[in-house]
Amino acid sequence: MTNHSLLKLAWQQTLAANRLPIWRALLLALTVAISIATLLAVLGDRLEQSLGRQTAELLGADMTLRSGRPIDPAIAERARSLGLETSGVIQFPTMIEAGDNLLLISLRVVEAPYPLRGKIVTQPTLPHLPEPGTLWAEPSVLERLNLKVGDQIELGYTTFTVAAQLTSTPDRGNGFSTFSPQVIINRQDLTATKLLGVGSRARYRQLFAGEPQALKQLEARIRASMASDERLITLDNSNNNINSSALNNASRYLRLGALLTLLISALTIALSLRRYTLNSRDRAAVLLSLGMTARQLQILFLLQLLLAWVACALVGTGIALLLEQFALVLLSDLLPQPVPLAQPVFYGLGALLGLVSLITLGLPPMVAMSQVSVMYLFRRTAAPTTLGGRVLQLVAGVLLTGLLMLYLEDLQLTLILIGALLITAWVLGKFGAWLLRISAFALAGKHTLVRLLRLRIQQQQRWHRMQIPVISLLLALMAISLWARSDLMERWQNQLPDDAPNHFLINIQPHERDGVDQVLDNYQLNSSLYPMIRGRISALNGEPVATAFTPEQRQHNALNRELNLSWTSEMPGHNRLVAGRWSPQADGDTAYISVEQAFANTLGLKLGDTLSFTVGSFPVDGVITSVRAVQWESFQPNFYVIFTPGALDNMPMSYITSFHAEGEQRKVAAALLQRFPTITLIDIDQLLAQARSLIGKLSDTSGMVMLLTLLAGLILVFTTLSQELDQRRYENALLHTLGATPQQCRQLDLLEFALLGLVCGGLAAALGEIALWFIHQRLVLIEPVLHPSNWVLLPLTATALFTLTGLLARRRVDESNSYRLLRTLS
Amino acid sequence: MNGPVSEIILSAQDVAKRFDTQAGTLELFSNISLQIQRGETVAITGPSGAGKSTLLSLLAGLDLATEGSITIAGQATHQLDEKARAELRSRHISFVFQTFHLLPELNALENVILPLEIRGTTDAPDKARSWLQQVGLGERLDHHPAELSGGEQQRVAIARAFATEPDLLFADEPTGNLDEHTGEAIIEQLFQLNRDQNTTLVLITHDNHLAARCDRRLHLHNGELKERRTAGALHD
Ligand SMILES: Nc1ncnc2c1ncn2[C@@H]1O[C@H](COP(=O)(O)OP(=O)(O)O)[C@@H](O)[C@H]1O
Ligand SMILES: [Mg+2]
């Protein structure tokens, strides 16, 4: 037989198969699997490139030095002498005011040449830097302040004209600033705004671009004298990026989400192929009787699989690309634009995964089928599952696991997860089947159909054990992800006392202190202003940091950046003394300090220890006399270290405070900014709203994945319901002959599905409560609560799902039923 | 086309078939011997469950006898492996089934072309078309099985069976699913082609009338195969 005619036959056979529900289930499952695998591969890679990996276009340079302090001008000098281009950037949060609207933004101050790589796109198109006296703002700034290009706004002590809207820009910075709306101004305007005070949380960047050789030289030079809170970001060294570990976790989490879908789809594919090949034994036997060899038969069915794969790969990849666009729109605020395209290989990954799984899962039943004898056409003996089939099935399972491990790029996690899933599924299946049995037992005598129901449950046990874990796990997962989100958001807010501060005021200069106090008083806001100084820990009991602390301790944030230090004679009311005694004042030249509990524990600090700091370039020592417990989530100004008054006098300092403002009091913000344009007011409510929308967007994205998973689960249920159609057909025919009406047959099915739904929904609700309890107790630290609505909604949902898929699968039974019955009767 | 020297196309020597079942060993038949000459028509009759289909599967080389030997076109089936037996079948044997077994997605012509294509026969479409014309379906070439009556489907199956020009044609109750009148016509067709092609026809049937028209009639009962005189034999 020529390849061409074999292919043609495969084509015709595939078209015919497309009319069979079981084959359609296979196609759907494969499409879903390919979609989700492609979606996560492509989206994951794009996110990783966008946030994790650096490109010159995103960085705005070939290399960037980041620091919490002004960068030594000598470095820029050095760069220029090496023939490199360089540019300094300062970025810090500040308030912007337009009419009644206040907004916390991230201000980026730039100087020519800028950017060194990539380009800023504005609307209208303007050259690379804002002219002095003008600013460029991102669309969200204009939107929220009700502004348009050409309007004027105040920044500190200066009035700016909005010259353009920022469409996309490289070098958005890192950390919090990437998520805040941004405004760009020219360096020449900075001094006049007076925004850059001691308390402004400015971050400094020096960008470099040019010859690789010169860059390497400069890099070596910088690294030789780099402080621990400085970061050098180069293109070939993405590990430098702070985002990358968080991102790795996020993408791993997403991939694990996909694992469930892929496993379910694999199960569906295996089951539908089993059914399909069983149904195709006739055809196989006929083809053998016409002279085809077993080998040709295998090729024929393999070609059919390939044809199905081509269609599913095209559709699945297409769906993935659509969903990817959708996800990118959802996440657009969170990502620096433009998001780089994924590497080409990722677009084909899902399809490839689909192909390999289809072949591995398809081969065992295909081989078994090709071994059917022509005798089968004369005498209906079941073709035995050959040893080869079993061995192949085992090989397929191992291969598939390996494949998933490759895809998830994490061997151990995949194994643990698959193991955990299998065990959970097994337990759920056993337990669920037992629940089904006892509930049918409990119903005995209540309805004439119950006897039949018990028989049915016995017969379908094998499939129930598959349906129950899949549906209850899926429903539990959906419920958990929905509740975890809303529980967190709601109760986080409820947990705060009503009078918890909802505004932070930072960057208050010493000369503004009394004025600010006065304004707050005018609005009946009582709050204390704390002095704040930034200093770095330099030694413990005279020993330098490098030797005084273990390598593990040296990882602590407090040793790697400047700390906020304060002083006061009275312990802040919202702190609690846990050890030592509070020292209200210094003893002559010896300053005393009070340290925060967790911080002290981690660094191994004890009462009586002397901690040395560098503030600016001055050394300051303090002896620990007390340890305080601090409620970090209280939204009060909190400090790791508080000095006795006096020790930090005459050092560059600012004040900080927080207060709770409500209703009319909220106008204090405008009043403050009117009088003190350079202070920064952080509106916690606004931040919370921002965080909420961020979490919302992230969970909408994961919701998309969940929907695909649910779809995969439904296809599996459909497939399992279609497995024993012959059994059900026979059973129904028997019932008919015993005088049951078609209506009663349907009732029996409905009863079965309702019971299944109740069991699955109940199990899902229970699983959900357990998981949520754990999440509340351990992860988000809120008081666990029950979710009564789950116990109603989940069983109802499960029943509906079973009934709907059952009706779909049943339709075929009814159709063929009358035909068969007529045959048997005649 | 019958030559003066009669050629034995199929022979069985002391054949027995036993199955191991849960209830012990089941012996369907033993000591069965027979010789069939090229061009003969042979009916196998017997009560349901007597082992007719099993015997047919042995004679067609689909299965091996527990004892004795079966020779098809000079080759002893028990000396061949599964692959060689498949080749032997493909070269010499065709089947006609009770339930037709046409491929539903192929039209009549494609169904007949299929075995020819499997064998790599040249001008398969022309040959297939002419076979369908011979069974009276020249006008229905592009009809699918679902659009054909039972009798018409069986004609397509017969055309498909003859298309490969087999030496032996096995038919298991070919009229079992057809009404009497249609069955009659189908049988007529089968005999006609059999004569034209000098094919050897072995058919299982319940229909005494049909059995009587064959050259020979073998009755399988209680594990014994007995030859009965037939009207067909009288014609010779
Ligand atoms: N593989 C087998 N194992 C056990 N018993 C079999 C097997 N194949 C056939 N039989 C039994 O052999 C008997 C004859 O079957 P069959 O040849 O189909 O009879 P017939 O075609 O004459 O009705 C039946 O009782 C059947 O159950
Ligand atoms: Mg039979």
What amino acid is encoded at A630 in this protein? V
How far is Cα A185 from Cα B233, in angstroms, rounded to an integer? 112
Instruction: Inform me whether the pLDDT recorded for A676 exceeds 90.
Output: no
In this prediction, the residues of chain B whose per-residue pLDDT falls under 50 are: 1-4, 232-236
Two tokens, residue A534: 């930034």
pLDDT band of A59, cuts 50, 70, 90: confident
3-class SS at A629?
Answer: strand
Whether residues A51 and A86 share a domain: the answer is no
Instruction: Inform me whether the pLDDT recorded for A762 exceeds 90.
Output: yes
Query: Of A499-503, A627-631, B2-6, where does the model show the most confidence?
Result: A627-631
pLDDT band of A242, cuts 50, 70, 90: very low
pLDDT in tens, A574-591: 888 888 998 888 888 888
| A12: chain B residues, CB-CB within 8 Å | 103, 105-106, 110
Residue nearest to atom 26 of ligand 1 (CA): B49
Higher pLDDT, A457 or A732: A457
Please indicate, yes or no, if residue A686 is contained in any of the structural domains.
no
Query: How many beta-carbon pairs under 8 angstroms link A with B?
Result: 62
- Interface check for B83 against chain A (CB to CB < 8 A): the answer is yes
Q: Residue B55 Cα, ligand 2 centroid: separation in angstroms?
A: 9
pLDDT the model gives residue A51? 62
Q: Residue B226 Cα, ligand 1 centroid: separation in angstroms?
A: 19
Quickly tell me which residue has 């649910």 as its tokens. Answer: A710
Q: Among residues of chain A, what percentage have pLDDT more than 90?
A: 20
For residues A92 and A196, the answer to whether their CB atoms sit within 8 Å is: yes
Ligand nearest to the CA of B21: 1
Mean pLDDT computed over A502-507? 82
3-class SS at A565?
Answer: strand
Quickly tell me which residue has 């019932």 as its tokens. Answer: A735
Enclosing domain of residue A46: 1-58+246-409
pLDDT the model gives residue B2? 45
What amino acid is encoded at A259 in this protein? L
pLDDT in tens, B91-104: 999 999 988 999 99
Instruction: Inform me whether the pLDDT recorded for A721 exceeds 50.
Output: yes
Higher pLDDT, A731 or A152: A152
Q: With an 8 Å Cβ cutoff, are A282 and B110 in contact?
A: no
Please indicate, yes or no, if residue A515 is contained in any of the structural domains.
no
Whether residues A741 and A782 share a domain: the answer is yes
Please indicate, yes or no, if residue A698 is contained in any of the structural domains.
no
pLDDT the model gives residue A705? 75
What amino acid is encoded at A133 in this protein? G
Whether residues A85 and A50 share a domain: the answer is no
For residues A30 and A265, the answer to whether their CB atoms sit within 8 Å is: yes
Whether residues A93 and A172 share a domain: the answer is yes
User: Cα dihedral sign for B43, B47, B52, B53?
Assistant: positive
Q: With an 8 Å Cβ cutoff, are B105 and A289 in contact?
A: no
Mean pLDDT computed over A524-528? 80
Q: Residue B54 Cα, ligand 1 centroid: separation in angstroms?
A: 6
Ligand nearest to the CA of B18: 1
pLDDT the model gives residue B235? 44
pLDDT band of A772, cuts 50, 70, 90: confident
Distance set, CA A488 to CA A254, A264, A484, A764, A794 (Å): 20, 30, 6, 20, 21
The predicted model scores a pTM of: 0.71
**Which is nearest to B106 in space by CA: B71, B156, B59?**
B156
How far is Cα A606 from Cα A623, in angstroms, rounded to an integer? 10
pLDDT the model gives residue A179? 65
Q: With an 8 Å Cβ cutoff, are A377 and B97 in contact?
A: yes
Pairing between β-strand B8-21 and β-strand B24-37 as defined by DSSP bridges: antiparallel
Please indicate, yes or no, if residue A516 is contained in any of the structural domains.
no
**Which is nearest to A341 in space by CA: A50, A56, A57?**
A50
Whether residues A386 and A434 share a domain: the answer is no
**Which is nearest to B121 in space by CA: A5, A300, A299, A289?**
A5
- Interface check for A822 against chain B (CB to CB < 8 A): the answer is no
- What is the average pLDDT value for chain A, to the nearest integer? 81
Ligand nearest to the CA of A375: 1
pLDDT the model gives residue A632? 67
How far is Cα A207 from Cα A202, in angstroms, rounded to an integer? 16
Please indicate, yes or no, if residue A608 is contained in any of the structural domains.
yes
- A729: distance to nearest CA of chain B, Å? 21
pLDDT the model gives residue A560? 77
How far is Cα A798 from Cα B29, in angstroms, rounded to an integer? 57
Whether residues A402 and A428 share a domain: the answer is no
**What class, spelled out in words, does domain B4-229 have in CATH?**
alpha beta
pLDDT in tens, A255-279: 666 777 888 888 889 888 888 888 8
Instruction: Inform me whether the pLDDT recorded for A190 exceeds 50.
Output: yes
How far is Cα A584 from Cα A582, in angstroms, rounded to an integer? 6
pLDDT the model gives residue B236? 42
Mean pLDDT computed over A634-657? 83
Whether residues A201 and A341 share a domain: the answer is no
pLDDT band of A753, cuts 50, 70, 90: confident
Whether residues A70 and A196 share a domain: the answer is yes
Question: Number of structural domains, chain A?
Answer: 4
| B97: chain A residues, CB-CB within 8 Å | 377-378
* B112, closest residue in chain A (CA to CA): A290
* A823, closest residue in chain B (CA to CA): B177
Instruction: Inform me whether the pLDDT recorded for A516 exceeds 70.
Output: yes
pLDDT the model gives residue A724? 65
State phi, psi for A166 to the nearest 5 degrees.
-85, 115
Ion ligand 2, residues whose Cβ is below 5 A away: B 53
Q: Is B225 left (phi over 0), alpha (psi -120 to 50) or beta?
A: beta
Mean pLDDT computed over A344-351? 88
Whether residues A416 and A539 share a domain: the answer is no
**Which is nearest to A658 in space by CA: A632, A692, A684, A677?**
A684
Whether residues A426 and A314 share a domain: the answer is no
Whether residues A415 and A390 share a domain: the answer is no
Please indicate, yes or no, if residue A669 is contained in any of the structural domains.
no
Whether residues A18 and A150 share a domain: the answer is no
Q: With an 8 Å Cβ cutoff, are A293 and B83 in contact?
A: yes
